[in-house]
Structure 1
Amino acid sequence: MLPKMKDFDFSQKTVILRLDINSPLDPKTFKIIDNWRIEKAIPTINDLKEKKSRQIIIAHQGRPGEWDFTDLREHAHEIEKIIKERVNFVDDICGEKAINEIKKMEKGDIILLDNVRKIKEEMEKKTPEEHAKSDLVKKLSPLADAFVNDAFAASHRPHCSLVGFIPVLPSFAGLLMEEELEMIEKMLNFAERPRVFVFGGNKLDKIELIKSLIDRKVADKVIVGGALGNAFSKDESLRKIAEGKIVYPVDTIDGKDIGEETVKIFEEEIGKAKSIFLGGPMGVFEEKEYRKGTERIFKAIVNSGVFSLAGGGHTTAAIRMLRLEDKFSYVSTGGGAMERLLMGKDLPVVDALIKFKR
């Protein structure tokens, strides 16, 4: 069983809270242009705040060497704006400055440490026991009473700050983590049939996932649009993955959106569903002239009135552009993490939380 926040008394305790607030930035100003992941982390922050916990927040932004690999000062401001309380950004992670600031904390205080990926050991793939010997864990864990992991979108990565504290501190899934896992489990195991899975975007590695969902009898029908759909239209051998269970485009607009005939076929299939999963746009939705297919299919899903789960970076961006985020039953923050679960695979963070449950 997954250890949850309700299993522990966090009242006035010092808590290391790992979040995934990795956000899209403006390439010119480096300001956050969509704070959705930050918003999704707020219930856990507020829950701990109400209990007067001292919160030491650890998070990342971008990857080393990429343009959006920045500090987390802007993220601290965003959290402050939402919770209307001071968030102390510390431009250090586990050095003397960070440790001194943590030691000065009073009950109810919140600290956001700098981008944890600035530490070389963070992104190394190791076991929780190996990561527990890292500088990060050895320096910060003695200062805390518990660890909460609410970084669902990063939970498929066996990184230091995600799994390293779990062997050494009482550790729990955050409220978002708990919710995400429940929703995906519902889609996989309990959602009403027929279950229709709608995939799009340009990642051809989803072919393995589609095959797995059909082979394991999770999906009753799979609809494919976007560049992925074009691949199925052109390649007969792909369609043989599951005769009669895959619905693919019959026409496109310049190969960048699904055509009118395809929209009608897709809408008809969506109308037969009792549960729907959405993972990917139907075309190059960022360009207005190629947005119609995505808009029509996404609206058909929310208007169907059935249980609908959506997830993935481009999917979420399109949903938010169309202002449909409140119309889906659930929109997941996860991409890779959600995909692992859909494949029937485990998540390193969840495995560690269960293994070391106290």
Structure 2
Amino acid sequence: MLSKIKGRGFIVRIDINSPLENNKPVMNERIEAHAETIKYLSKNGAKVVLISHQGRSGEKDFLEDMDHHAKLLTKVLNKKVEYVPDLYGDLAIQKIKSMKNGDILLLKNVRTLKEETLELSPREHANSEFVKKLSPLFDYFIQDAFSICHRSHASVVGFPYVMKSLKGKNLQKELKALKKLKNLKNVTCVLGGAKIEEIISFLDFLAKKGKKSIVLSGGMFSIYCLKASGFELGFKYDIKEEFLEKIKNYLKKLKIYVPQDFVFEDGSKGNIKDLPINKKICDIGKETIKIYKEILKRSKNILVKGPLGIYEDERFSYGTKEIFRFISNLNAFSIMCGGNTLDAIRRFKIPKSKFSHLSLGGGATIEYISGKKLPGLEVLKKAKDL
């Protein structure tokens, strides 16, 4: 733990990449999770500068400015967070240099910089104008966002290469919970959502380790599983052959359950015997929910990554809602991970305390549990805890 904080400057990498409504961020677990680190620094007289991202350039959730994020942080911290619409230009430098003890600034979306998202080495990123201009203005870099540690981005690996670095309180909590899960042999995994590449990475780990784990499929992952099992679907999904071939292989090696019934895009229902049907599958059906609950009831350790259907639409939220609520009432060790998973928990008003741990990382969580080296953690090997 750092002994002297008062008067010192800290640049803190957080992840407040948020769900948007009417093109504005809404309050979520990511914003709340970083409060402990930021409060601790500010109350002890530090000068705190926050850097984060919102979406990726060219995608629908990308926002150049993060002024509304600053307002949400202000609300959570009960202290003014000033937004600066700049990263390392004259305005940002002037604002940073004029900070008083306890002040908090949030800079512009780091992903407005093209060099931010280049997958370069820490040394190469440390040589960027972004890192070279900002690093001399601070005493310490703090990494508080486990969720972006699988990225070799400038704001993740560049600063710790040239600065004294610390692990923030949120990062410490994530690592403690995930280390426990990493060592468990029998885990029931509920895998859904649309990020198939991340799921494949995790399945590869399960297959190689020979872990006696059970996989319950949902979301787009279950579509791949059905197709890989030999079912003709009818509806034309965007399925990548390379992923399909890998999933075919995992179906032979692992115990993967596929949905037995569904809710279609027009609200109609059907079961696996009715396929092919030229309608999009949007949720799991009641028979599948019943089967999955029976398996979860016997599970001591549960990992959830991703929703089981299009949960944002009330017509297709039932499967995700039922399974998540059921898990929340079990005595099992449960880790819920990923932005959409956490957003669903909030939407369904399930008390967060009813789960063992809410992991803000999706891809980072899966890669860490899978035993992969995360660039953002590799550069923190000598870093102490805040």
Seen in structure 2, the aligned counterparts of structure 1 residues 82 and 271 have a Cα distance that, compared at 3 Å, is same
Contact 2:144 2:169 in 1 (8 A): yes
Seen in structure 2, the aligned counterparts of structure 1 residues 265 and 16 have a Cα distance that, compared at 3 Å, is same
Contact 1:16 1:55 in 2 (8 A): yes
State the AA in 2 paired with 1:200. G
Describe the SS at the equivalent of 2:216.
Answer: strand
1:322 matched residue in structure 2: 348
Tell me the distance in 2 between the aligned counterparts of 1:134 and 1:23.
Answer: 27
Query: Which shows bigger deviation, 310-319 or 263-272?
Result: 310-319
2:307 matched residue in structure 1: 281
State the AA in 1 paired with 2:202. L
Return the offset for 1:76: 1.4
1:3 matched residue in structure 2: none
TM-score with structure 2 setting the length: 0.84
Query: Which shows bigger deviation, 330-339 or 206-215?
Result: 206-215
1:19 matched residue in structure 2: 14
- After TM superposition, list the pairs within 5 Å mapping 1:1-358 onto structure 2: 6-7=1-2, 9-27=4-22, 30-67=23-60, 68-189=62-183, 191=184, 194-205=186-197, 206-236=199-229, 238=248, 241-242=251-252, 245-254=255-264, 255-324=281-350, 325-354=352-381
State the AA in 2 paired with 1:235. A
Describe the SS at the equivalent of 1:34.
Answer: coil
State the percentage of identical aligned residues. 39
Query: Which shows bigger deviation, 343-352 or 34-43?
Result: 34-43
Seen in structure 2, the aligned counterparts of structure 1 residues 194 and 116 have a Cα distance that, compared at 3 Å, is closer
Seen in structure 2, the aligned counterparts of structure 1 residues 128 and 244 have a Cα distance that, compared at 3 Å, is closer
Tell me the distance in 1 between the aligned counterparts of 2:159 and 2:212.
Answer: 37
Tell me the distance in 1 between the aligned counterparts of 2:135 and 2:128.
Answer: 11
Describe the SS at the equivalent of 1:166.
Answer: helix
Query: Which shows bigger deviation, 282-291 or 155-164?
Result: 282-291
Contact 1:223 1:266 in 2 (8 A): yes
Contact 1:214 1:242 in 2 (8 A): no
State the AA in 2 paired with 1:215. K
Seen in structure 2, the aligned counterparts of structure 1 residues 174 and 229 have a Cα distance that, compared at 3 Å, is same
1:233-286, CA deviations, whole angstroms, 9 ceiling, x for partnerless residues?
A: 343373763467222222223332222222221111101111100112222222
Query: Which shows bigger deviation, 289-298 or 147-156?
Result: 289-298
1:318-357, CA deviations, whole angstroms, 9 ceiling, x for partnerless residues?
A: 2221112332111111112112113221111100111677
Tell me the distance in 2 between the aligned counterparts of 1:197 and 1:62.
Answer: 27
Tell me the distance in 2 between the aligned counterparts of 1:218 and 1:187.
Answer: 12
Give 4+ residue runs of structure 1 displaced > 4 Å after superposition: 355-358
Structure 2, unaligned runs of 5 or more: 231-247, 265-280
Seen in structure 2, the aligned counterparts of structure 1 residues 133 and 204 have a Cα distance that, compared at 3 Å, is closer
Tell me the distance in 2 between the aligned counterparts of 1:64 and 1:239.
Answer: 35
Tell me the distance in 2 between the aligned counterparts of 1:245 and 1:7.
Answer: 47
State the AA in 2 paired with 1:43. E
1:2-46, CA deviations, whole angstroms, 9 ceiling, x for partnerless residues?
A: xxxx2553233111111111112224xx32223331111110001
Tell me the distance in 2 between the aligned counterparts of 1:146 and 1:278.
Answer: 35
Seen in structure 2, the aligned counterparts of structure 1 residues 219 and 114 have a Cα distance that, compared at 3 Å, is farther
Tell me the distance in 2 between the aligned counterparts of 1:278 and 1:75.
Answer: 27
Describe the SS at the equivalent of 2:321.
Answer: helix
Describe the SS at the equivalent of 1:354.
Answer: coil
1:114-162, CA deviations, whole angstroms, 9 ceiling, x for partnerless residues?
A: 2222223222221111211221222211111111011222111111111
Seen in structure 2, the aligned counterparts of structure 1 residues 120 and 230 have a Cα distance that, compared at 3 Å, is closer
Return the offset for 1:199: 0.9
Seen in structure 2, the aligned counterparts of structure 1 residues 241 and 75 have a Cα distance that, compared at 3 Å, is same
Return the offset for 1:48: 0.5
Tell me the distance in 2 between the aligned counterparts of 1:341 and 1:155.
Answer: 9
Seen in structure 2, the aligned counterparts of structure 1 residues 321 and 240 have a Cα distance that, compared at 3 Å, is same
Structure 1, unaligned runs of 5 or more: 1-5
Contact 1:214 1:220 in 2 (8 A): no
Tell me the distance in 2 between the aligned counterparts of 1:308 and 1:336.
Answer: 18
Seen in structure 2, the aligned counterparts of structure 1 residues 329 and 357 have a Cα distance that, compared at 3 Å, is closer
Seen in structure 2, the aligned counterparts of structure 1 residues 50 and 219 have a Cα distance that, compared at 3 Å, is farther
State the AA in 1 paired with 2:39. N
TM-score with structure 1 setting the length: 0.90
